[in-house]
Structure 1
Amino acid sequence: MSLAYTVSGLLVGLLVGLTGVGGGSLMTPLLTLLFGFSPATAVGTDLAFASITKGFGTLAHRAHGHVQWQVVRRLCVGSLPAAVAAILVLKSAGELNAQWLHAIRVTIGVSVLLTVLSLLFRKQMLAWLARNPRFQLEGRKQVVATVLVGAVIGVLVTVSSIGAGAVGATLILLLYPHMKPAEVAGTDIAYAVPLTAVAGLGHVWLGTVDWNLLLALLVGSIPGIWLGAQLSRALPERIVRAALATTLTLVAIKLVS
């Protein structure tokens, strides 16, 4: 069975390398729907997985100067306390009963749908914002909005392990439309590292991390990400993203049904 986990890690890593998104959005539903892990274990293990892989990604983006650290700090001010609060709520629930597990599963499904919307309509949202510059936030309003966005994503990520990828990048771009795409990607990955680390450690405390599963996923995903990055030069991103959005939509429907 560990071979199946490694192959799954390889395939998800391939998609991440191709599109830059899809890690948590695919990995967590895959673990619950295909392999039958409980939602809590799937979320906890994926968070530990994400904190490691995103750490390597941050180093690469930092080397190229693609991280806007001021934005990272603002997001962390909101996301880290929210992640700790979400962990404490889960801890206070004690043994997760069927209702809690169903709530986590539905949250995963909703987070996947948000990822789909961000994939499909990011350009349209940016175009609307460009046509209506009065809605672009500046100064204190921009700071407060960034902290609030961080808090919402902190809760989503802690409960579902999804939201720090495409959803986070889209919201950053809407708040800071003048940032370059590489800066958005680098900033999104950079703030996700402490967030997934805090949330992942929280799930270690809750006992919802499967270490054997984590190792198998890492063995497959690291070469998968590298291979996907190489293939991304040859395959049209529009087609790959459309296929990813279709897959995620079907996954989300299955999760919330």
Structure 2
Amino acid sequence: MQTEVAQVLAGKKALIVGVANDQSIAYGCAKAFRAAGAELAVTWLNDKARPHVEPLTKELGAEIVAPLDVTRPGELETVFDLISERWGRLDILVHSIAFAPKEDLQGGLLDCSAEGFAKAMDISCHSFIRMARLAAPLMTEGGAMFAMSYLGAERVVPNYNVMGPVKAALESACRYLAYELGPKGVRVHPISPGPLKTRAASGLKDFNLMLNEAASKAPLGELIDIMDVGWTCAYLATPFAHRLTGDTVYIDSGASIVA
């Protein structure tokens, strides 16, 4: 597979936000883009995350590496300044970050605090809009933006709680951005992977039950992995998908079609 797609993204510049370790969805995307020939910029959250992410950036041959906490004023702008100075343009943006305070995530929506809801919305949704605002001027030859969602945005998934409404807002934001950026040749893709064993997912109550249910109901009878997401996003970033934008793309072995 890698030989067949090795040059499909040759020369393309991709910013990957959300790599936490070698099990994260963002890492799968970074590996797929790199295998397809793209040049990478990769961020880590903070000093605590850096030792886990920095070796991966070296493995991937990332040309630009930097810290990025979207809640810290100026850090997002600094990353895009680096990209502008080093590359002068951007072709691909991957937003794969989400957060809600544990007490708000593990309680029901009725019990979610206003502060917790606002923080989840800011980090998990509005930060993508802020990134898109900075990325769009650099996508002078068009481009592709990706944001990671989940089935809980569309249907009630027990224990997904506050993240359901937040991811619904993210998917809606993607549609509106696809509409606004379409005339510039920029495509926006909300991606909805099936449940994966990532560090972020570990904060969900009864997550193993979600994994088991997803595998049992999927027509293909198995869970996905991070490279399934990565290869799909790599395809969507190529000219082969140049007329696709805005619609949520489900990568879940077909589980989402089963009631």
TM-score for the superposition, normalised by structure 1: 0.31
Higher helix share: 1
Higher strand share: 2
* Higher-RCO chain (CA-CA 8 Å, sequence separation at least 6): 1
